Structure 1
Amino acid sequence: MSNAKVPRGFHEFQFRYLIVWCLAITADWLQGPYVYELYASYGWSKVDIAKLFVAGFGSSMLTGTFIGSVADAWGRKSCAILYCILYALACVTKHFNLYWILMLGRLLGGAATSLLFSTFECWMVGEHKRCGFPDELLRYMFGLMFFVQYLAAIGAGLLAQFAASSLPLTHLGASTWYGGPTTPFDVSLAFLLIAIPTISFLWQENYGDPGEGGCDGVVQIASSFKAGCQSLSSDWRVPLLGLVVAAFESSMYVFVFNWTPALDSASIAPPHGLIFSGFMMACMCGSSLFSLLDASVQPIKVLWPVCLAAAIALACVATSLWTGASEEWVFGGFLAFEACVGAYFPCVSTVKSQIVPEETRAGVYNVYRVPLNLCVVLLLLADLELQTSFTVCTCCSSSQRSRLR
């Protein structure tokens, strides 16, 4: 991107958004490698762990039906701060080996992730449009946003590995523990506490509908939710894109639950943080490839080959598990799938920014997460074998190809 084409104030806008996004997403990535490992270390069975994951996705599904409307109506900056508070509380619960407290943590975390994957992006798009920056810079911004995300994720994986191995898991008393796989959650808590004042100082508030900023709270939410539903019915592309999001991303979240047991080895404990960093490096490569595409290439045309490649990668994983191939083959398939995920997110985000109306953006984005989380909950409750899970993931990734053609 040539500096001659960059409008005044764009670099400041980049800094204000990306520094906050980096803190917020790093806090999330720090937890990823050790969620399953922590529950397993506490002695919970795979079925019990699956129920905890279901609680998180179910919470995200239920809150997703209205929390985006809250963000549109009450302000996206305020909801970004709320994300930090909810996720910080979720981190604290990880120190207690009591199932109901761990369940509470998953419920808080599910609500927080609904905010993370809608509110922050909506603030960026809304601020971009408010400042009058050209649309071609929005595509560039999405590519940069996800590049920073995956770069932060690589660092988060390494930091989580270091933190988890710095202290052994130690019983403090009663049901309280510290060290081991709880430590990455403490580091995540620190990032969230730093993010709160950073958001307060760097961001200004924006809303889904500029005319609703001072209305009564309940009226705001009801109006925003109604407008979001109208957006789904007024343009056939909006719900169709939601089906694509649900199909692809449900396979991704089932992968999140299953990659740890899929790579477990009887001979050596896998370095979860390093493996996670490897996944994120693959994601960053995919994101970079999307950024290098010529601006004349329509993002909607890129989605189809990305989804096809992801389906092939998951098919290779499923085949390796069915045939009893070594963990190296499974890991290779995972890396290929993560590269597709890296290309998918900036691509689909650009498409969403073009199709979804600005005034109902956060509400529609969270409605998209309802069928997504429903798919994930049903798949986890089915308690499928690893081979079957990845076979189903392959079908999910490939099912939207006909919709994209």
Structure 2
Amino acid sequence: MGIVIESEVWEPNPYLYIFLLFSSLFSLTLLPHFTKNSNRTIGVFDLSSVPASFRRFQGSLLLIYSLASVMEGLGSVFGEFEYASYGISREQIVLSLCVGSAASLLVGSLLGIIGDLIGQKKVCLLFCVLHLLVGIWKRLTMNPCVWVASICLAVASSIFSFGFEMWVVAEHEKLGHRQALSDTFWLMAFSESASHIGSQILANSLASSSGEQRFDFLYTAAIFLATICLIYVTREWKESPNVASIGSYRMSFSGNIIGDKRIWLLAWAQACLQFSIMVVWILWAPTVVADGREVRLGMIYPCFMGARMLGSTAVSWFTGGPSPVRSEDYLLYAFIVNAIVLSIAAYDYQEIGVLVTLFCIFHACVGLILPSLAQLRTMYVPNELRGGMISLSTAPANAAMLIVLIQGGYHRNVGNATIMAFAAFGLFSAAGCMHQLKKWGKHPHQNWHKL
């Protein structure tokens, strides 16, 4: 008599979703009660003290940013499965990722400077146009060239990393609510994570309802969202023309960005974080399913985004409570925690539940770090140079990612553990940057730290 061994497919406990959701809501609900007696104005909660014009702006901002985040998420829901449906081999998929990284490095690194010169409205229009072109290209072509899509989406992602932040800072400055930037940054991080969950739900529902042509409805949705964003930015986005010449911009950039050691520290911390996010995005699934373990990967990704949502709500607890904490202080420990998490995942074999917990901790820290770094950029980087600083700070991350994809993904000369350990080392160095920035930074009682 034979014995049949049934393999169990691992999936997260449903209570984990409930925990992350209610923890985020609980954090948002309690926040106004613990911050109402502090010296800091919580514009997003204290609506009575905020003009209606600013409330309308903040609401429209979060709406359009959420739609843009959904567009960003739609392109990566199916990933390799979508490529495989076109008959593309693994080597071709890796090569297309290399092309995308090269485009981010060569083109994306310069777009921030161009955005500073021509204005953030035009580069954000380019973001919408690129997503629109990719949607139309995939919708009309039976076997679309993955290189074209990879280049367009990579450039669009580069714009997404700085374009909307440039707009947010400029509008807050124009409306006289610069002190509310900290709230807006973490709300953007919160809505971005929620939108990525929504994009996964939308993509799976559209793909499962489209029969044989399982991606057609998905491309149609991308075209629709890109059109809405394009119309909104064109009609509603008001922008003062930038009159700076290339020569004056170069002199200002050299004096204020290249000549400031504190901004170099911020740039390196941003690059290390960006590289670690890309490494985790590529390697978390192979790490979880190592040794042939069967896992419902689609059920795990929402946990990561839920953890990032929870982490973003912690920003206002640190900066807006009765005893505010300097951004450099808690960022130092957040980078160290993430470095330890990746070190454990790289070199210590763990059960699936432990790995998922570790990656949830990583994403929670990312949700805390991203808006906090944006807040620090507001302290040190002039508004007219912000795009160039952000785009150039991501260049080391894109270069490192290109090397990883070529050596680790294409030639397979570098193991996944080594790649993840390299990302952990970068995060440790980013923690050192925060420690040094605290020494070189502005005095904690200056108004910038009340943002």
1:189 is aligned to 2:214 = no
Q: Would you say how many aligned residue pairs link Structure 1 and Structure 2?
A: 381
Task: Please tell me whether the aligned partners of residues 265 and 434 of structure 2 are also in contact (alpha carbons under 8 angstroms).
Answer: no
What is the CA distance between 1:354 and its match in structure 2? Answer: 1.2
In structure 2, how many angstroms separate the alpha carbons of the residues matched to 1:97 and 1:291?
A: 48
Matching of residues 74-85 of structure 1 within 5 Å: 74-85=118-129
Q: Which residue of 1 aligns with 2:7?
A: none
User: What one-letter code is carried by the residue in structure 2 that aligns with 1:270?
Assistant: R
> 1:114: Cα distance to partner?
1.5
Aligned partner of residue 33 in structure 1, secondary structure:
coil
Structure with bigger gyration radius: 2
Instruction: Give the match for residue 105 of structure 1.
Output: 149
Q: Which moved more, 1:344-353 or 1:154-163?
A: 154-163
Residue 277 of structure 2, aligned match among 244, 252, 258? 252
* Residue 225 (structure 1) shift: 4.9
Provide the C-alpha distance between the structure 1 equivalents of 2:341 and 2:395, rounded to a whole number of angstroms.
26
2-structure distance, mates of 1:337, 1:326 = 17
**Which of 151-160 and 38-47 deviates more?**
38-47
SS of 2:76 mapped into structure 1: helix
Secondary structure of the corresponding residue to residue 205 of structure 1: coil
Q: CA RMSD in A?
A: 2.4
Contact 1:156–1:277 under 8 Å retained in 2:
no
Q: 1:375 to 1:17 in 2, by over 3 A?
A: same
CA displacement at 1:154 relative to structure 2: 1.8
Conserved? CA contact 1:16–1:202, under 8 Å: no
Shift of 1:39: 2.2
Check 1:377–1:162 CA distance in 2 against 1; reply closer, same or farther (3 A cut): same
Pair 327,66 (structure 1): closer, same or farther in 2 beyond 3 Å: same
Matches within 5 A, 1:258-273: 258-264=283-289, 266=292, 268=294, 270-272=296-298
Correspondence for 1:138 among 181, 186, 191: 181
SS of structure 2 residue aligned to 1:204: coil
Return the offset for 1:268: 4.9
2:69 matches 1:25: yes
Query: What is the correspondence of 1:237-386 to structure 2 with a 5 Å cutoff?
Result: 237-264=262-289, 266=292, 268=294, 270-272=296-298, 274-295=299-320, 296-320=324-348, 323=349, 325-383=350-408, 384-386=414-416
- The answer to whether the Cα contact below 8 Å between 1:72 and 1:362 also exists between their aligned partners in 2 is yes
- The alpha-carbon deviation at position 346 of structure 1 amounts to 0.8
Cα displacement (A) at 1:8: 5.4
Closer/same/farther in 2, CA of residues 102 and 223 from structure 1, 3 Å limit:
farther
Select which of 197, 202, 206 maps to 1:154.
Answer: 197
User: Counterpart of 2:236 in structure 1: which amino acid?
Assistant: L
2:243 to 204, 208, 211: 211
SS at match of 2:301: helix
TM-score, normalisation: structure 2:
0.78
2:358 and 2:155 mapped to 1: Cα distance?
31
Partners of 2:154 and 2:326 in 1: CA distance: 33
Amino acid corresponding to residue 139 of structure 1 in structure 2:
S
More divergent stretch after superposition (228-237 vs 354-363): 228-237
Q: Once the 2 structures are TM-superposed, how far is the Cα of residue 267 of structure 1 from its aligned partner?
A: 6.8
Q: Tell me: CA distance 1:198–1:316, structure 2 relative to 1, closer, same or farther (3 Å).
A: same
AA aligned opposite 2:192: Q
Distance in 2, Cα, partners of 1:114 & 1:306:
24
Q: CA deviation at 1:46?
A: 3.7
Tell whether the 8 Å contact from 1:27 to 1:189 is kept in structure 2 after alignment: no
CA distance in structure 1 between the partners assigned to 2:126 and 2:246 by the alignment: 16
Kept in 2, the 8 Å contact 1:91–1:185? The answer is yes
TM-superposed CA distance for 1:305, in Å, is 1.0
Aligned residue number for residue 232 of structure 2: 198
Give the secondary structure class of the aligned counterpart of 2:176: coil
The unaligned stretches of length 5 or more in structure 2 are 1-41, 409-413, 436-451
User: Which one-letter code corresponds to 1:137 in the other structure?
Assistant: A
Q: Cα deviations across residues 33-75 of structure 1 (Å, max 9, x unaligned)?
A: 2223322444444443222212112211111332112212222
- Equivalent in the alignment of 2:431: 401
TM-score (norm 1): 0.86
1:388 and 2:412 are equivalent in the alignment: no
